[in-house]
Chains A and B, each alone.
Chain A
Amino acid sequence: MTRQEVLDLYFMDARSKLIDLAAFLDRIERATGEADFRFEAFKRALDLLSAENASKARGVLMSLSDPTIEPIAKAPGKGACGAWPGASVH
């Protein structure tokens, strides 16, 4: 597809998601109390969006991922929260 075609197909959808994202950040700003590691992880991922390459989706996913290779001793629970807590303590 040409860039023009991509814009024709996806601009409105991406615009809407962009405003949703901005509103989410505003909501956090207005809210009280401490944020947890997920917000730091989110902001680090946001920084990757201005990179001039075609692997930003991969970059964001990697920045939210556990990069370690050792299996853990015991499952802390069943779920995943979307960001790796270890990134904040390194």
Chain B
Amino acid sequence: MRYIEPHGHMVSRTTDDYEKMVLAGCAAVCEPAFWAGFDRSGVEGFYDYFCQLTDYEPKRAARFGLPHYCWLCINPKESEDVLLAAGVLEIIPQFMDRPNVLGIGEIGLNKNTRNEIQILERHIDLAARHDQLILVHTPHLEDKFKGTRLILDALQADKRINPGRVIIDHCEEHTIEMVLDAGFWAGITLYPESKTTPARAVDMYELYGQQNIWLNSACDWGKSDPLAVPKTALEMRRRGHSTETIDKLIFQNPARFMSQNPRFQLK
């Protein structure tokens, strides 16, 4: 079995996790910029983080022959501080030409505030001006439905944005339809307690799987599983899905989306 992990926060994972993922068939890992679990004290903290994502982390993955790609932004949890966010938005362009950068992400909303929306719109503008792919984080739990609607509004308001070049991640049963109906890609995240289980992910695949969907683990510093994607492939097998169907969902689909950036190459 081969698969792509399109959303893994590898800076928070051990080197052993890289080994386990490769042993399970991982062919590429893509790492969106996100919250460290604490607020960084200034723009310099993000500068260092972007260096880690574009220099150190790909080297760590390369020790296992694993291509590593990343996405850049200031995440919505820190976007409430618009001054900090403006400073981070200013330094992003100097990292965009690094060879493993796929686009802008994971941008989006957290608590659905006006400040978060302002910074989301500025990221969308940055992506449009530099013709970048976009990876979107949708809010957690009770905030997800409202946040997904606000995010769709912000993306659709910018006429330069092609929905086929945007993935809206962490979709669940109450948000996936509006995302796909609007022409965007939908990500389903396998994360204990707060997102979906393998069984629910396969349910959604069975309902909407003919469309543009990917699966990811969003493994990070929280309780999460870097092998959640191959475990969901096993769930599909238990339900009788063919090897070709599974390969399409966990390998071909993410490859198709990310190959819209020619930097994305599978060895």
Q: What is the CA–CA distance of A79 and B117 in the complex, to the nearest angstrom?
A: 17
CB distance from B122 to the nearest CB of A (A): 15
CB distance from A37 to the nearest CB of B (A): 11
CB distance from B181 to the nearest CB of A (A): 14
Q: Which of B113, B145, B238, B240 contacts A65 (CB 8 A)?
A: B145
Interchain CB contact under 8 A, B238 and A57: no
Q: What is the CA–CA distance of A57 and B171 in the complex, to the nearest angstrom?
A: 13
Q: Which of B140, B199, B200, B239 contacts A80 (CB 8 A)?
A: B140
CB distance from B257 to the nearest CB of A (A): 25
Please tell me if B150 contacts chain A, counting CB pairs below 8 Å.
yes
Using CB atoms, name the residue of chain B closest to A72.
Answer: B113
Interchain CB contact under 8 A, B173 and A71: no
Q: What is the CA–CA distance of A82 and B144 in the complex, to the nearest angstrom?
A: 10
Interchain CB contact under 8 A, A80 and B142: yes
Chain B residues with Cβ under 8 A from A57's Cβ? 173, 200, 203
Please tell me if A89 contacts chain B, counting CB pairs below 8 Å.
no
Contact with B along A55-82 (1 / 0, CB 8 A): 1011001101111110111111111111
Q: What is the CA–CA distance of A83 and B140 in the complex, to the nearest angstrom?
A: 11
Interchain CB contact under 8 A, B146 and A67: yes
Interchain CB contact under 8 A, B139 and A80: yes
Q: What is the CA–CA distance of A46 and B110 in the complex, to the nearest angstrom?
A: 27
CB distance from A71 to the nearest CB of B (A): 5
Q: Which of B141, B203, B240 contacts A64 (CB 8 A)?
A: B141
Q: Which of A58, A71, A74 contacts B174 (CB 8 A)?
A: A58
Please tell me if B60 contacts chain A, counting CB pairs below 8 Å.
no
Contact with A along B145-158 (1 / 0, CB 8 A): 11001100000000
Interchain CB contact under 8 A, A71 and B142: no
Contact with A along B1-27 (1 / 0, CB 8 A): 000000000000000000000000000
Please tell me if B55 contacts chain A, counting CB pairs below 8 Å.
no
Please tell me if A1 contacts chain B, counting CB pairs below 8 Å.
yes
Please tell me if A84 contacts chain B, counting CB pairs below 8 Å.
yes
Interchain CB contact under 8 A, B149 and A69: yes
Using CB atoms, name the residue of chain B closest to A78.
Answer: B77
B88-147 at interface with A (beta carbon < 8 Å):
110-117, 139-146
CB distance from A69 to the nearest CB of B (A): 6
Please tell me if A35 contacts chain B, counting CB pairs below 8 Å.
no
Binding site for A on B (CB under 8 A): 77, 80, 110-117, 139-146, 149-150, 172-174, 199-200, 203, 238-240
Binding site for B on A (CB under 8 A): 1, 9-10, 13, 55, 57-58, 61-62, 64-69, 71-84
Identify 12 new A-B residue pairs, CB closer than 8 A, beyond the known A57-B203, A62-B174, A80-B139: A58-B173, A61-B144, A65-B145, A65-B174, A66-B146, A69-B150, A71-B114, A72-B111, A74-B80, A80-B111, A80-B143, A82-B141
